[in-house]
């Protein structure tokens, strides 16, 4: 009799859901959130009733999404919010047996947890500043990880199935979490604090693996994550209440993490400086590709290459490197035609000398340094010019 009553209540909830949804603007986010919470709160006393109410809501929003092409992002958010309930009481008790420590409905668990993560990420791809979608995305990864560890590594886990994607997801959360501090309009900014706590955990458990004396400073993405610790602690140091991480653990390892952060920043600065230097070199490198097979003879090739080199040096004041490639049409001992390319690099010191000449003619006629460079580096068909004519 009790089960029959629960089913009747579930059906009633479903139809009241459908009727109410038609009266709420799908883009009225706060009313939609309140609507979901009201329906679910009425079912809190029974895990079975809660599961049915949740399934009815999911079905309702999925049906709306199938016909409403203009509100997909908000509908994805509403659905991700509902699917995320799989991690919390009482929905969690429908799929997990605390006595045996095993999942009784792993299919539903996988479907809900993956849907929550995927849909919240879809929302963020359209709107990277959606605070609540970011919270769902962060929390879904955190609780899935916690359930995996609680099950002694037997529960379905995204980090095992797709480790590289999981690691990228953690880096994405860590790199983007701090900006929500300014965006957050919740009371006492509790949403952004919870986001920061998730990120703090991901750095500690995901990047550092809780081993503060064996830190890998070789990966740039890891260094960025470690440096971001200073942003997280600048906020968490000022709060009295923690929502996710253990406050005593946080205080115990503050000094360790501050030192790690400082070392990471030093190493990251070195990498960034090197990258900037390489980028500047790439921006100010000029490449000359000269096809000598189209010239009348060797003398024409030398003259034409000289003109191109002088022009590159004289007309590009920021040039720091010139790469010269000279291709010739050559015949091997069997008479087979092939292309041979001589390549050499002109450094900044060479360029400074070459650009002193005011014309290509003066450069070709009088630049001894260029003439010597050609003799040393340009090897027509692979033969040194020093050996020709002897």
Please give the Cα distance from 386 to 262 (Å, whole number).
56
Q: What local confidence, expressed as pLDDT, does residue 332 receive?
A: 78
147, exposed or middle or buried, with CB in 10 Å at 0-12, 13-18, 19+?
A: buried
Q: Calculate mean pLDDT across residues 201-210.
A: 94
| Assigned domain for 185 exists | no
Q: Which among 6, 89, 84 is positioned nearest to 52, based on CA atoms?
A: 6
Domain contains 3: no
* Number of other residues whose CB lies within 10 A of the CB of residue 357: 18
Asked if residue 386 has pLDDT above 70, the reply is no
Q: Per the domain annotation, does 324 fall within a domain?
A: yes
Q: At residue 59, does pLDDT exceed 90?
A: yes
Is there a domain that residue 330 lies in? yes
What pLDDT digit, counting tens, does each position of 7-37 carry? 444 544 444 444 466 578 889 999 999 999 9
- More confident call, 29 vs 4: 29
Question: What is the arithmetic mean of pLDDT over 281-309?
Answer: 93
Average pLDDT, stretch 286-313? 94
Domain count, the chain: 1
Q: Does any domain span residue 146?
A: no
Residue bearing the bigger pLDDT, 382 or 17: 382
pLDDT at 121: 98
Count other Cβ atoms within 10 Å, centred on residue 260: 21
Q: What share of the chain is helix, strand, coil (3-state, %, to 5)?
A: 70, 10, 25
> By residue range, what is the domain housing residue 302?
285-387
- In tens, the pLDDT along 161-202 reads 899 999 999 999 999 999 999 999 998 999 999 999 999 999
In a domain, 370, yes or no: yes
pLDDT recorded at residue 21: 61
* Number of neighbours of residue 50 by Cβ within 10 angstroms: 25
Q: Which pTM value belongs to this model?
A: 0.77
Evaluate whether residue 76 is within a structural domain.
no
Tokens of 142: 């955190």
| CA–CA distance, 19 with 10 (Å, rounded to integer) | 14
Q: Any idea how long the chain is?
A: 390
Q: Name residue, tokens 């946080």.
A: 250
Residue 185: per-residue pLDDT:
93
Query: Comparing C-alpha atoms, which of 141, 44, 32 is closest to residue 84?
Result: 141
Q: How confident is the model at residue 387 (pLDDT cuts 50, 70, 90)?
A: low
Residue 317 lies in a domain: yes
């Amino acid at each position: 009799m009790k089960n029959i009553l629960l089913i009747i209540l579930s059906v009633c909830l479903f139809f009241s859901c459908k009727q109410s949804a038609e009266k709420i603007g799908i883009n009225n986010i706060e009313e939609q959130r309140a609507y979901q919470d009201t329906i679910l709160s009425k079912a809190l006393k029974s895990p079975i009733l809660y599961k049915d109410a949740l399934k009815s809501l999911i079905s309702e929003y999925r049906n709306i999404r199938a016909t409403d092409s203009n509100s997909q992002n908000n509908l994805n958010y509403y659905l991700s919010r509902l699917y995320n309930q799989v991690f919390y009481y009482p929905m969690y008790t429908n799929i997990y047996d605390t006595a045996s420590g095993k999942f009784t409905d792993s299919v539903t668990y996988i479907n809900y947890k993956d849907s929550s993560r995927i849909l919240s990420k879809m929302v963020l791809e359209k709107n990277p500043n959606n605070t609540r979608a970011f919270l769902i995305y962060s929390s879904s990864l955190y609780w899935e990880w916690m359930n995996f560890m609680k099950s002694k590594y037997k529960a379905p886990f995204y980090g095992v199935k797709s480790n590289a994607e999981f690691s990228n997801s953690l880096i994405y959360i860590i790199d983007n979490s701090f900006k929500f501090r300014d965006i957050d309009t919740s009371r006492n900014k509790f949403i952004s604090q919870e986001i920061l706590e998730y990120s703090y955990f991901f750095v500690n458990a995901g990047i550092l693996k809780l081993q503060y004396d064996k830190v890998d400073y070789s990966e740039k993405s890891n260094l960025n994550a470690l440096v971001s610790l200073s942003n997280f602690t600048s906020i968490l140091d000022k709060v009295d209440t923690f929502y996710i991480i253990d406050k005593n653990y946080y205080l115990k390892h503050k000094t360790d993490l501050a030192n790690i952060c400082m070392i990471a920043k030093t190493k990251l600065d070195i990498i960034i400086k090197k990258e900037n230097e390489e980028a500047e070199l790439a921006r100010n490198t000029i490449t000359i590709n000269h096809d000598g097979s189209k010239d009348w003879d060797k003398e024409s090739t030398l003259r034409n290459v000289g003109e191109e080199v002088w022009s590159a040096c004289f007309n590009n004041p920021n040039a720091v490197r010139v790469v010269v490639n000279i291709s010739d049409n050559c015949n091997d001992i069997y008479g087979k035609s092939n292309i041979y390319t001589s390549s050499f690099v002109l450094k900044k010191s060479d360029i400074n000398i070459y650009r002193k000449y005011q014309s290509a003619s003066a450069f070709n006629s009088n630049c001894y340094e260029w003439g010597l460079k050609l003799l040393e580096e340009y090897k027509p068909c692979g033969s040194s010019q020093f050996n020709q004519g002897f």
